[in-house]
Amino acid sequence: MTATSTPGLVTLGETMGLVTAGEIGSLEYARTFTYGIGGAESNVAIGVSRLGAPATWIGRLGADATGDMIERRLRYEGVAALVVRDRAFTGLMVKHRRFGSALSVDYHRAGSAGSRLSPEDLPQGCVETAGVLHVTGVTTALSASACDTVFCAVDRARAAGVPVSVDVNYRSKLWSPEAAGPTLRRLVALADVVFAGVEEAQLVLGAGAGSTAEALAQGLSALGPAQAVVKDGARGCTASVDGVAHRLPALPAEVVDPVGAGDAFVAGYLAELLAGRPAPERLRTAVAAGAYAVSVPGDCEGLPRRTELAALASASDVMR
């Protein structure tokens, strides 16, 4: 692997194949499926790339057809994919709707190539020349070596003066709150920018955390990050940026698939951060990107481009 030479987003983690049932109901009765890719960090990398900023993804993939597809998709999206091929299999997600809007996601990733991520997989100079390093709590839950890789990358970024972005991204199917809390709190304390949902912020801050989004944003910021953003779904977002409070409502959107909305939000914010734009503009783009993403099925398919965000703002049903 070689290091990227253009300052931009650098991220690392596991990307998996994504099987999605086409019908609503029990998975055993589904007869049509789509096959795509999904992963929190690669979703953000694709989202940042679509919004015009350089993006690099570092990870391990199996020497299999799914690994081949993931690498091709990332490169097609303009993401610099720094891939280590591993003898283990590429991980898999299975997504289906048991009823109505209740979405279920199962993981098949224990012992996967992505879970074997190692500090040695980080190319020399890659993290140190980034515009921002983005990591998530997902990768810290995969294995001891993956967790070590996240903290190694963060330490290298901080030593080089590179801003560190953390999305808490707690996954209950990967670890318990008791196991996750101390690690996630340690990670947040090393960040310059942190993103969390309401319950994720409460997990990081502990039982004494405030109940409002404003109190949670302030609590996260008090741990160390100058920029703390609480994602609050249909209620929008609340942020504390350099001690200044911000709150934006969500944009109206038809929710087709909520998975990936948080990653789209993060991508919108970080793309504007890389472009040097002020906090209100970062948050506006983040909210718009999240609204756009939920209107399209798939983890990363709905990540918007600049022109598409402009079309969303016009609220027109027909684009000619």
Distance CA 173, CA 313 (A): 36
Q: What is the pLDDT of residues 76-134, one digit of tens each?
A: 999 999 999 999 999 999 988 777 667 788 899 999 999 999 999 999 999 999 999 99
**Residue 166 CB: number of other CB atoms within 10 A?**
28
Query: Residue 248, SS3?
Result: strand
Distance CA 136, CA 167 (A): 5
pLDDT of 104: 82
Task: Summarize the confidence of residues 252-274 as an average pLDDT.
Answer: 81
Strands 193-197 and 227-231: parallel
Task: Summarize the confidence of residues 39-66 as an average pLDDT.
Answer: 97
- Cβ atoms of 71 and 39 within 8 Å: the answer is no
Distance CA 237, CA 291 (A): 12
Query: Residue 95, SS3?
Result: strand
Which residues are 57's β-sheet partners? 11, 81
Please say if the pLDDT value at position 200 is more than 90: yes
Catalytic residue among 192, 263, 299, 317: 263
Enumerate domains of the chain plus CATH numbers. 9-305 (3.40.1190.20)
For the question of residue 263 being annotated catalytic, the response is: yes
pLDDT of 257: 55
Claim: this prediction has a pTM higher than 0.95? no
Vertex 255, ends 252 and 256: CA angle to 5°? 145
pLDDT of 3: 46
Q: What is the pLDDT of residues 137-190, one digit of tens each?
A: 999 999 999 999 999 999 999 999 999 999 999 999 899 999 999 999 999 999
Q: For residue 48, which amino acid is it?
A: V
Sheet containing 102-108: give its strands across. Answer: 33-38, 16-24, 92-99, 102-108
